């Protein structure tokens, strides 16, 4: 599969083979090693944060730490943070106070803040509130063992340096709380889209893409270990561009999708998140041409009004986004599209809010992540715009969006009754040990009764018999 691609051809199969044999992904799982010290980690926010926690776990494993789910037993307590929403920051502060009580009961326990809140609030955490011993940014996780060692000697460990090169491509993530079926693969880091409301470019730095070899090797390793679905992650996966240092050729996201899909027909490929301006016809054709690339796109719109989109610096207007929706459904008629929506952005009027409602109705999102605007310190919106929409108005508009989306999700799921889907079993349903749960290609959760001898990781055909706004219910069809 490499010989057909000039970007990959320059480095040869030797690199991939070495990666698979151990130089990149062959290290034994640190869970199998006895550990004199234990770490506990909590993650908040996006999937990238959860993926980063797996990288942190691997780095700590190599330093002699083992993971524990028992907070009281941990020698090192870490919280991987998110700054996207104010609520996430409030949650982190509450958890830090809980951790501080553990420290008081167990002197010598260290507490660290990782991730997106690290740089912005390092002084507050370390000096004003004195709640933490370590503050480590998303690009400094390799330095964790050194920082921990310094903290044990009484130093305050701080590294929030943002790198233009770090991708952690050579680290085999430790799959924390894995179901053994689905896994994340981080393919790039950072973001170059300067949306006015967003802190990500300031907390995660500029975009840089991982080697395609390391991504394919990680996907192959996961499949060989029994995983049957991987999600390619990035703040903006469609802007993935890897320059082969040997040939100077550029490999695009569409080409990466095809390479990853070629690992094995039974390895499902998902990806998140897509910026509307970067998802190309080539990506859509790759999805169309490969059965194992899931027919699901998360395509955040944020607002349905052109003036608000310009204030958000989203780089597209309402009409352009509508055409993109049309194009997706034209090439992929069975595709499910989901979205992010922010209501109550600076100066938004009721009429502009209604345009967002009409956008949701037009796009027919299968689901959406819906929020009212909360100002993030340091963003262009915080510096240049006035957060002037009253909170009561924001909440009213948000409820209207939620009600509309819930209705559309219910309608779309009702249309699935009678259809048969190929479902990947992920595990037991949370509500009943008598039922399996899994997802179809469109990322919809499917619940069905256990029959036969199926196990997590098996693909099965399920005919849908009932549906709610969030879940499909069905019966397993034996071959």
Q: Are 302 and 277 in contact (CB under 8 A)?
A: no
Residue-wise pLDDT for 253-273, tens only, equals 999 999 999 999 999 999 998
Residue-wise pLDDT for 118-138, tens only, equals 777 776 767 656 788 999 988
Q: Where are the alpha helices (DSSP H) in 198-349?
A: 200-204, 212-224, 253-261, 281-289, 306-312, 318-331
To the nearest whole percent, how much of the chain has pLDDT over 90? 67
Per-position b or e across 139-162, b if 16+ CB within 10 A of its CB = bbbbbbeebbebbeeeebbbbeeb
Write down the pLDDT at residue 434: 95
- Copy the structure tokens of residue 90: 């409030």
pLDDT exceeds 80 at position 398 = yes
CATH topology of domain 316-415: Transcription Regulator spoIIAA (3.30.750)
Write down the pLDDT at residue 9: 37
Residue-wise pLDDT for 196-216, tens only, equals 998 888 878 889 999 999 999
Q: Could you identify the residue written with the tokens 């896994």?
A: 183
- Give the count of beta carbons closer than 10 Å to the beta carbon of residue 431: 10
Residue-wise pLDDT for 56-105, tens only, equals 999 999 999 999 999 999 999 999 887 666 677 778 888 998 999 999 99
Write down the pLDDT at residue 209: 94
Q: What are phi and psi of 102, to 5 degrees?
A: -65, -45
Of 409, 413, 331, 341, the C-alpha closest to 370 is 341
Q: Report, in this order, helix, strand and coil percent for the chain, each rounded to 5.
A: 40, 20, 40
CATH topology of domain 28-159: Rossmann fold (3.40.50)
For strand 208-209 and strand 188-189, is the pairing parallel, antiparallel, or unpaired?
antiparallel
| 94 phi-psi bin (left φ>0, alpha ψ -120 to 50, beta other) | alpha
Q: Are 66 and 30 in contact (CB under 8 A)?
A: yes
Per-position b or e across 90-115, b if 16+ CB within 10 A of its CB = ebbeebbeebbebbeeeeebbbbbbb
Q: What is the mean pLDDT of the chain?
A: 88
Write down the pLDDT at residue 35: 62
pLDDT exceeds 60 at position 186 = yes
pLDDT exceeds 80 at position 3 = no
Residue-wise pLDDT for 19-54, tens only, equals 322 222 223 344 444 567 999 999 887 778 888 899
Domain ranges of the chain: 28-159, 316-415, 420-477
Stretch (H or E) spanning 473: strand 471-477
To the nearest whole percent, how much of the chain has pLDDT over 70? 90
Residue-wise pLDDT for 147-169, tens only, equals 999 988 888 888 888 888 888 88
CA distance 456 to 478: 16
| Distance of alpha carbon 378 from the chain centroid | 23
- Please provide the DSSP assignment of 299-328 as one string: ---B-S-HHHHHHHT-S--HHHHHHHHHHH
- Spatial CB neighbours of 31, under 8 Å, sequence gap ≥ 6: 61, 66, 67, 174
pLDDT exceeds 60 at position 16 = no
Confidence of residue 361 (pLDDT cuts 50, 70, 90): very high
Write down the pLDDT at residue 22: 27
pLDDT exceeds 90 at position 338 = yes
Q: Are 77 and 40 in contact (CB under 8 A)?
A: yes
Write down the pLDDT at residue 360: 98
Residue-wise pLDDT for 302-318, tens only, equals 999 999 999 999 999 99
Residue-wise pLDDT for 322-331, tens only, equals 999 999 999 9
Confidence of residue 173 (pLDDT cuts 50, 70, 90): confident
CA 439 vs CA 289, 380, 399: distances in Å:
20, 38, 27
pLDDT exceeds 60 at position 478 = yes
**CATH match of 420-477 with 2.40.50.140:** yes
Write down the pLDDT at residue 7: 41
Write down the pLDDT at residue 24: 28
Reported pTM: 0.85
* Average pLDDT, integer, range 278-282: 96
Residue-wise pLDDT for 406-433, tens only, equals 999 999 999 999 999 999 999 999 999 9
């Amino acid at each position: 599969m490499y010989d057909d691609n000039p970007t990959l051809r320059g480095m040869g199969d030797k690199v991939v083979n070495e990666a698979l044999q151990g130089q990149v992904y062959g290290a034994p799982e640190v869970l199998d090693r006895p550990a004199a010290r234990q770490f506990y980690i909590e993650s908040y926010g996006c999937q990238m944060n959860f993926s980063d926690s797996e990288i942190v776990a691997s780095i700590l494993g190599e330093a002699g730490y083992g993971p524990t789910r028992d907070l009281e037993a941990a020698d090192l307590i870490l919280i991987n943070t998110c700054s996207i929403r104010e609520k996430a920051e409030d949650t982190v502060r509450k958890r830090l106070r809980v951790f501080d009580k553990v420290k008081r009961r167990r002197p010598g326990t260290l507490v660290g803040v990782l991730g997106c809140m690290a740089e912005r609030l390092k002084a507050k955490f370390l000096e004003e509130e004195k709640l933490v011993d370590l503050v480590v940014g998303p690009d400094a996780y390799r330095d964790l063992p050194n920082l921990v060692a310094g903290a044990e000697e009484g130093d305050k460990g701080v590294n929030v340096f943002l790198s233009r090169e770090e991708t952690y491509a050579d680290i085999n993530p430790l799959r924390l709380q894995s179901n053994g079926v689905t896994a994340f693969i981080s393919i790039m880091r950072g973001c170059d889209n300067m949306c006015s409301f967003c802190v990500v470019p300031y907390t995660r730095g500029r975009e840089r893409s991982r080697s395609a070899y390391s991504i394919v090797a990680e996907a192959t390793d996961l499949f060989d270990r029994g995983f049957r679905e991987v999600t390619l992650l990035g703040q903006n996966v469609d802007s993935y561009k890897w320059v082969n240092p040997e040939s100077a050729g550029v490999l695009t996201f569409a080409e990466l999708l095809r390479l990853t899909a070629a690992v094995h027909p039974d390895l499902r490929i998902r990806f998140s998140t897509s910026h509307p301006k970067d998802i190309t016809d080539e990506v859509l054709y790759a999805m169309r041409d490969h059965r194992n690339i899931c027919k699901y796109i998360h395509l955040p719109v944020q607002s349905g009004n052109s003036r608000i989109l310009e204030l958000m610096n989203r780089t597209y207007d309402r009409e352009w986004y509508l055409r993109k929706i049309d194009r997706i459904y034209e090439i992929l008629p069975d595709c499910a599209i989901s979205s992010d929506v922010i209501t109550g952005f600076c100066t938004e009027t009721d009429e502009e809010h209604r345009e967002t409602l009409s956008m949701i109705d037009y796009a027919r999102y299968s689901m959406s992540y819906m929020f009212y605007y909360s100002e993030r310190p340091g963003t262009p919106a915080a510096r240049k715009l006035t957060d002037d929409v009253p909170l009561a108005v924001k909440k009213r508009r948000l409820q209207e969006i939620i009600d509309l989306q819930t209705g559309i999700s219910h309608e779309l799921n009702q249309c699935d009754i009678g259809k048969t889907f190929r479902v990947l079993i992920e595990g037991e349903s949370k509500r009943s040990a008598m039922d399996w749960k899994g997802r179809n290609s469109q990322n919809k959760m499917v619940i069905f009764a256990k029959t036969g001898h199926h196990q997590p990781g098996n693909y099965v055909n399920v005919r849908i018999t009932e549906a709610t706004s969030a879940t499909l219910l069905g019966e397993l069809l034996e071959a």
